[in-house]
């Protein structure tokens, strides 16, 4: 484990959502230590971006949430934490799989064009201060059967390694990567992190169909803005979109 991320791990046999559980704990008077990890053996109502459901077989995957207190960042820089966490997950997955990992904007991890992990960051603000962030992470580990017609053709670590992995050991190792990138962010490393993030973007520099206001159009993904908007080039005209304004077409 790292110095503080994962030093306190609470494992729950079954929970609706580790993010919701951690939110409930924060609402109580007992303080929750930064770096606390809530891990679920079974998560029955896991969520992804835009309210998507995260399907996970009980006991086969890594489904957990981590508490961070990024008070050193202004609330307008929330995307910086997303970048740091996405990078940590990508670096860690590459160390496990020995296979290149790309980041599908804003924060899904893709291997060989298939989704292997996702992140959901929920921020708690108090005025002009960023009080805390709950980072929910779901990683397909030992699961090999996925719902028929599941979006983004999911894959798992087992499908690459052809063996089961020890989930607590994976969590311990990943906590080190999360802490490393978080501390790099805290120490002013955002520009370097953003550059790496951009290089890893899924479909970067490729023509790809997108859904914008219900209309399918083809454009070339060319980067992200400082605040995390997706930049798409339409025949020389570059437009920026937030998470609710554009969808990838698969």
Q: Is-contact 39 5, C-beta < 8 A?
A: no
Distance separating alpha carbons of residues 83 and 196, to the nearest angstrom: 9
What homologous superfamily is domain 9-199 in, according to CATH?
Bira Bifunctional Protein; Domain 2 (3.30.930.10)
Check residue 232 and give its pLDDT: 98
**Residue at token pair 């799989």:** 97
Q: How far is CA 151 from CA 100, 148, 172, 188, in A?
A: 21, 9, 29, 36
Q: What angle do CA 31, 33, 36 make, to 5 degrees?
A: 125
pTM recorded for the entire structure: 0.93
* pLDDT per position as a tens digit, 44-74: 765 554 445 556 788 899 999 999 999 999 9
3-state SS class at 220 = strand
**Which parts of 16-84 are beta strand (E)?**
37-43, 62-68
3-state SS class at 99 = coil
**Residue at token pair 């995957």:** 61
Enclosing H/E stretch for 120: strand 114-126
Percent of the chain with pLDDT over 90: 82
* pLDDT per position as a tens digit, 176-207: 999 999 999 999 999 999 999 999 999 999 99
* pLDDT per position as a tens digit, 144-179: 998 876 666 899 999 999 999 999 999 999 999 999
Strand order through the sheet with 9-15:
9-15, 37-43, 62-68, 129-139, 114-126, 108-111, 102-104
- Write out the two tokens for 196: 């790496």
Spans of all domains in the chain: 9-199, 207-248
Query: Is domain 207-248 classified as CATH 2.30.30?
Result: yes
Distance separating alpha carbons of residues 98 and 106, to the nearest angstrom: 23
* pLDDT per position as a tens digit, 13-36: 999 999 999 999 999 877 899 999
């Amino acid at each position: 484990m790292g110095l503080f991320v994962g030093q306190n791990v609470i494992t729950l046999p079954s929970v609706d959502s580790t993010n919701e559980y951690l939110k409930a704990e924060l609402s109580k008077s007992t303080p929750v230590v930064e770096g606390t990890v809530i891990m679920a053996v079974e998560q029955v109502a896991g969520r992804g971006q835009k309210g998507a459901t995260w399907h996970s077989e009980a006991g086969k995957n890594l489904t957990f949430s981590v508490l961070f207190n990024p008070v050193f960042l202004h609330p307008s820089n929330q995307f910086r934490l997303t970048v740091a966490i996405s990078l940590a997950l990508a670096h860690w997955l590459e160390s496990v799989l020995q296979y290149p990992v790309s980041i599908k904007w804003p924060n899904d991890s893709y291997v060989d064009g298939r989704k292997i992990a996702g992140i959901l960051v929920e921020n708690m603000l108090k005025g002009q201060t960023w009080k805390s962030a709950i980072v929910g992470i779901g990683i397909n580990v030992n699961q090999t059967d996925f719902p028929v017609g599941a979006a983004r053709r999911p894959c798992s670590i087992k499908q690459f390694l052809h063996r089961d992995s020890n989930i607590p050991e994976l969590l311990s190792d990943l906590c080190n990567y999360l802490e490393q990138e978080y501390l790099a962010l805290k120490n002013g490393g955002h520009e370097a992190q953003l550059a790496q993030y951009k290089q890893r973007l899924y479909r970067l520099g490729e023509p790809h169909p997108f859904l914008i206001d219900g209309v399918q159009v083809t454009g070339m993904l060319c980067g992200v803005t400082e605040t995390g908007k997706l930049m798409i080039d339409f025949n020389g005209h570059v437009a920026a979109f937030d998470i609710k304004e554009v969808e990838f077409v698969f």
